[in-house]
A and B are shown apart, each in its own frame.
Chain A
Amino acid sequence: MFQRSLFRTSRPRFFYQTLTTEAPVAVTASSRRMILFCDHPLERTDHLCIKAGDMVAAGERIVPFSDASAYVVAPVAGRIQAVSPFVGDFGKNWTRIDLAAEDRGDVDSGFAAAADQVSLETVRQWMTGLPGGLEMAVIAGAEAPIDTLVVAATESDLLSVSAQYVLRHRIGAVSRGIDVLREITNAPRVVLVVGRDTVQGIGHVNAEIRAVSTVYPAAAPGLMLREVLHRELPAGGSPAAAGIAVVPVEAVAALGRSFAEKRLALEKVVTVVDKSGRRTLFEVPVGTPVADLLATADIQLENGDRLIAGGPMTGLCRYTDDYPVRPDTHCLMVQDAAAVGRVGSDPCINCGECVRICPARVPVNMLVRFLEVGKYETAAAEYDLFSCLDCGLCASVCPARIPIFQYIRLAKYELALSRAAEAENV
């Protein structure tokens, strides 16, 4: 699938996978533990209002700190086992709450009461952990007034089919979710973006329907918005800043379902890909440990394997399976130790493969020379670092096996840090 052929007269192209007829396997019952992350650092314990041994009801809103509004919603009833600091992706500091499920069946009625009123405040108070990933700042129009709401029923990466599953099997919930979002955001225009091969059967949704190419990375926001809205975002600018709120279809479905059933829908659709490339779909509550999900999928991890959350092009490796399914874990793949060779130590030979495959027309051959030596400012100013869509194609065709994508992510991360520091100094 990813091997290049000997003779190649056109550019190599990777396609998003198309959902065939697969039924998901629910494992709601089997998981006895839940791992929840609260987006607030656990630095001091004197402000902590929860402790090990506390009981929580299903759907209960847990606010761990007396001085912060950050919260998590318990997907099941149970007992808090531990509260600990946790360093997440890109050095984010979170608070980790381990929950042992107990079959007491007590359900919190807080959301049912709040759901009578469809408002941004209800969403803000209850739904940060909604499957699919709902960004409050985006739907609140914090950066710019929303003129277009884009519901993205496109996949986040190759191999994932989760969004297509939601679109096909939850179209009613999606439709209801779009109505809710319309009401909350007052967006004058709502566009449902789907892959060109999944357009059928969604005619009754109350939104414009637009199809995008299925060639990776057509679903990256920069390319998708250019294709469906004919609007090119400024390099490095978010869609939200341009007045476009992009919301994943799964979050929209969960939103619609939550308000319709007056119960928070916390079940996440996850595409699980095993070492042989076999694909299975699962629907599990957000917070289910990956170890339990892999056990259900009958996948054994061996020493030296890679456990990848996300997908083959942009995913993040996990160093342990003691990690939960997160709202944005659309795909989980296990890769054999031998599957990908190590990165190389050769310098760039200027072959230009990266330049030709780059969908954003970034001069990767020049960019990488500056990134290698830490000249991030020059890279951003002269060699279009922020035009990069983070698709990973350049690194996947590099004959010198330079970890180009890693350099790019590092540079963006470092620049974000230094710019935040500079902003504080002013």
Chain B
Amino acid sequence: MSEAKQLIVSHAPFVHDGSSIANRSGHVLLALTPAALAGMFRWGVPALGVIALAVSSAMLWELAFNKVARRSEGISDGNAAAIGLVLGLLLPATSPWWLVIVGTFLAVVIGKQIFGGIGANPFNPVAVSMAILAVSWKQFLDFDAMLLAYDPGFTMLEPLTAVKAFGNEVATRFSVFDLLMGRQTGAIGAPFGLWLIVGGVYLVMSGVVRWEIPTAFLVAVIVTAAAFHLADPLRYAGPAFHLFTGYTLIGAFFLATEDSSSPVNFWPMLIYGAAGGLMTILIRNIGAYPDGVIYAVLVINMINPLVDKIRPKALGKVT
């Protein structure tokens, strides 16, 4: 026998493409950075405060729950930080501190950890949290009331609420370019359409997000909104308005695409995304709420396991 070297024995494959969960979360954080920065410049230090508190408290909730549940620590995978950042960008800049902390608790603990942690959540954690917040403390998510102190030099009417109340005539007071550039009242990061598109395209290009879901989502928003607009142009705003207002873009790129609660096969992704866009406009136009993205995302999360059963026949299964 030759000199006994201690060799490592492990299973194939012996190559890996280097991807990791932390890497994916990092891409999400990076993709949201332009919108977050734009939000901080627009809304100032309060926005910075909300974002910082959201990210840090989400991570601390993750850490705390892992300790309590004696689960292996998951804070280093960056998922909690990504959840915190998305949630922060959906809140108004003047949110009270406790709202942010309750929000991250709802997202990280109720939305994710009690289902078994990363990969096990049936719903998007951020959407779960926002839905509970909107039902419980809806005065704090009323952007018109929350942002009274601001006078940035453009119409300080929350576009979707205004259209809901006064019909399409209000919508004509917002130029599409202004909406795209984020010159509208809204959450910290959600109004900055251009930066969200940049971030979303970056995520698609880097392979973190599947292009099928956001594309189908946005196409369905455009088609459904156009159908409503054509049916009753006085009451319903057009597709461009719906595309760049509310949570549409952040929802299409960052909420609907959350890994665990979205499908992975081609046709299911298209159906899932299209259902999201359709539900968004249905809720906005004939539902009770001005913005329907959060509830639309929760609804499509619910149909995800079912639609993802539509898949190609595996090799050798053709009979």
Which residues of A does B touch, CB under 8 Å?
2-4, 6-9, 12, 158, 222-223, 226, 232-237, 289, 291, 301-308, 310, 312-322, 333, 335, 337, 339-353, 355-356, 359-363, 365, 384, 386-387, 389, 392-393, 395-401, 403, 405-406, 409
- Is there a chain A Cβ closer than 8 Å to B9's Cβ? yes
Q: Which residue of B lies closest to A304 (CB)?
A: B8
Which of A226, A310, A400: most chain B Cβ within 10 A? Answer: A400
The docked-state distance in angstroms from the alpha carbon of A33 to that of B15 is 33
Q: Which residue of B lies closest to A4 (CB)?
A: B17
- B265 CB to closest chain A CB (Å) equals 7
Contact residues in A for B262 (Cβ distance below 8 Å): 350
Q: Answer whether A236 and B206 are a contact pair too, CB < 8 Å, given A315-B14, A337-B8.
A: no
The residue that B21 contacts in the complex, of A226, A291, A343, A400, with Cβ under 8 A, is: A400
Contact residues in A for B235 (Cβ distance below 8 Å): none
Q: Which residue of B lies closest to A384 (CB)?
A: B314
Q: Is the CB of A340 within 8 A of B6?
A: no
The docked-state distance in angstroms from the alpha carbon of A250 to that of B186 is 69
Q: Is the CB of A317 within 8 A of B9?
A: yes
Q: Is the CB of A409 within 8 A of B119?
A: no
Main SS at interface, chain B: loop
The residue that B16 contacts in the complex, of A320, A341, A386, with Cβ under 8 A, is: A341
- A188 CB to closest chain B CB (Å) equals 24
Question: 0/1 per residue, B36-57, Cβ < 8 Å to A?
Answer: 0000000000000000000000
Q: Is the CB of B119 within 8 A of A405?
A: no
- B155 CB to closest chain A CB (Å) equals 38
Contact residues in A for B313 (Cβ distance below 8 Å): 361
| Chain B stretch 107-135: residues in CB contact (< 8 A) with chain A | 116-120
The docked-state distance in angstroms from the alpha carbon of A334 to that of B230 is 67
Q: Answer whether A335 and B314 are a contact pair too, CB < 8 Å, given A8-B207, A355-B264.
A: no
Q: Which residue of B lies closest to A363 (CB)?
A: B311
Q: Is the CB of B119 within 8 A of A312?
A: no
- Is there a chain A Cβ closer than 8 Å to B231's Cβ? no
| Chain B stretch 228-265: residues in CB contact (< 8 A) with chain A | 259-260, 262-265
Q: Answer whether A2 and B17 are a contact pair too, CB < 8 Å, given A337-B8, A352-B210.
A: yes
- Is there a chain A Cβ closer than 8 Å to B12's Cβ? yes
- A18 CB to closest chain B CB (Å) equals 18
The 8 A-B pairs of least Cβ separation, nearest first, read: A352-B264, A235-B316, A384-B314, A387-B314, A360-B315, A406-B11, A392-B13, A349-B119
- B145 CB to closest chain A CB (Å) equals 38
Q: Answer whether A361 and B7 are a contact pair too, CB < 8 Å, given A312-B13, A349-B260.
A: no
The docked-state distance in angstroms from the alpha carbon of A27 to that of B270 is 59
The docked-state distance in angstroms from the alpha carbon of A68 to that of B18 is 49
The docked-state distance in angstroms from the alpha carbon of A303 to that of B4 is 9
The docked-state distance in angstroms from the alpha carbon of A50 to that of B319 is 52
Q: Is the CB of A387 within 8 A of B8?
A: no
Which of B116, B120, B264: most chain A Cβ within 10 A? Answer: B264
A-B contact pairs, 25 of them (CB 8 A): A4-B19, A7-B206, A8-B205, A235-B314, A235-B317, A291-B2, A303-B5, A313-B14, A316-B12, A317-B8, A317-B11, A319-B9, A321-B2, A342-B10, A346-B21, A347-B117, A349-B119, A349-B259, A363-B314, A384-B317, A387-B317, A393-B13, A399-B20, A399-B23, A406-B11
Q: Answer whether A396 and B318 are a contact pair too, CB < 8 Å, given A304-B8, A317-B8, A349-B21.
A: no
The docked-state distance in angstroms from the alpha carbon of A226 to that of B9 is 34
Q: Is the CB of B2 within 8 A of A306?
A: no
Q: Which residue of B lies closest to A14 (CB)?
A: B15
The residue that B15 contacts in the complex, of A301, A313, A345, with Cβ under 8 A, is: A313
The residue that A335 contacts in the complex, of B11, B14, B20, B24, with Cβ under 8 A, is: B14
Q: Is the CB of B7 within 8 A of A317?
A: yes
Q: Is the CB of A4 within 8 A of B18?
A: yes
Contact residues in A for B4 (Cβ distance below 8 Å): 320
Q: Is the CB of B118 within 8 A of A12?
A: no
Q: Is the CB of B264 within 8 A of A301?
A: no
The docked-state distance in angstroms from the alpha carbon of A308 to that of B318 is 35
Q: Is the CB of A365 within 8 A of B9?
A: no
Q: Which residue of B lies closest to A390 (CB)?
A: B12
Q: Answer whether A386 and B5 are a contact pair too, CB < 8 Å, given A355-B265, A400-B21.
A: no
The docked-state distance in angstroms from the alpha carbon of A305 to that of B4 is 12
Contact residues in B for A359 (Cβ distance below 8 Å): 315
Q: Answer whether A350 and B14 are a contact pair too, CB < 8 Å, given A235-B314, A304-B8, A319-B9.
A: no
Q: Which residue of A lies closest to B21 (CB)?
A: A399
Contact residues in A for B5 (Cβ distance below 8 Å): 301-303, 305, 321
Q: Is the CB of B259 within 8 A of A397?
A: no
- B83 CB to closest chain A CB (Å) equals 13
Q: Answer whether A232 and B207 are a contact pair too, CB < 8 Å, given A304-B8, A349-B118.
A: no
Q: Is the CB of B15 within 8 A of A2?
A: yes
Contact residues in A for B17 (Cβ distance below 8 Å): 2-4, 12, 396-397
Which of A234, A340, A346: most chain B Cβ within 10 A? Answer: A346
Q: Is the CB of A353 within 8 A of B72?
A: no
Q: Answer whether A320 and B316 are a contact pair too, CB < 8 Å, given A4-B207, A396-B16.
A: no
Q: Which residue of B lies closest to A290 (CB)?
A: B2
- Is there a chain A Cβ closer than 8 Å to B1's Cβ? yes
Q: Is the CB of B317 within 8 A of A392?
A: no
Contact residues in B for A389 (Cβ distance below 8 Å): 315
Contact residues in B for A158 (Cβ distance below 8 Å): 15
Q: Which residue of A lies closest to B313 (CB)?
A: A361
- A337 CB to closest chain B CB (Å) equals 6
Q: Which residue of B lies closest to A365 (CB)?
A: B264
Contact residues in B for A365 (Cβ distance below 8 Å): 264
- Is there a chain A Cβ closer than 8 Å to B77's Cβ? yes
Q: Is the CB of A399 within 8 A of B318?
A: no
